[in-house]
Homo-oligomer: A and B are copies of this chain.
Amino acid sequence: MEIEQPPVDRERIIPTGERRGLVLVHTGKGKGKSTAAFGLALRAHGRGKPVLIYQFMKVPSARFGEHRIFEKLGVPIIGLGDGFSWKSKDLDHSAELAREGWARAEATIRSGDHFLVVLDEIMYPLRYGWVPLEQVLTCLRERPTHVHVVLTGRGAPDELIALADTVTEMTMVKHHFKAGVPAQRGIED
């Protein structure tokens, strides 16, 4: 005899549609776009699901707080960039790295091996035109239906927003940098 489970409250307010992988976008100028993606990765990993994180704006050797922990947990977190944010002298090289990075990310998504794939800061290479938007949209449309993809970064293109299942805009109401408080290790990195 099966023991009846107590009802889950949210079933009451949530439509009973298809369960499938989602495209989630974190955009806007506020904080929390990447950290919320990391929180999702943490949660999925906690449910025993395979997760992979690509970071388009981080160098492969980045060792911020999140890298140390995901490494410890056995969640791959892979920097694809050269730190081109505002110091790169060689934008052709940055563009090439971004394209190579996208090819890797696309293969991962299409393989269906992961429950969740994070494409952190992919909006930068999209905005710079280094990664063609149409390729990303096609990959998302054609991906195996169980794969969740989280894309982060300012300035998500309209076509991506249209395609996404869930879009959150992080808006900066106020920021401590503006009050003269500098970056804090363990908070900002």
Contact = CB atoms under 8 A, between A and B. Distances in A.
Interface of A: 9-20, 22, 24-28, 30-40, 42-47, 49, 64-69, 72-73, 83, 85-87, 115-116, 148, 161, 164-177, 179-187, 189
B168 A164 contact: no
A164 B31 CA distance: 14
Given A14-B177, A17-B179, A176-B166, A32 B26 contact: yes
Given A32-B32, A32-B168, A39 B15 contact: no
B161 A167 contact: no
A68 B43 CA distance: 8
B49 A66 contact: no
Contacts of A72: 73
Nearest to A37: B39
A68 B169 CA distance: 28
A169 B171 contact: yes
A86 to B, nearest CB: 6
Contacts of A176: 22, 165-166
A115 B47 contact: no
A64 B46 contact: yes
B66 A43 contact: yes
A86 B22 CA distance: 26
Given A10-B183, A25-B173, 18 more contacts: A9-B85, A9-B86, A19-B184, A34-B39, A36-B39, A36-B170, A38-B42, A42-B65, A42-B66, A43-B66, A116-B186, A148-B186, A161-B174, A165-B175, A165-B176, A168-B170, A168-B172, A169-B170
A20 B176 CA distance: 11
Nearest to A29: B168
A161 to B, nearest CB: 7
A168 B31 contact: yes
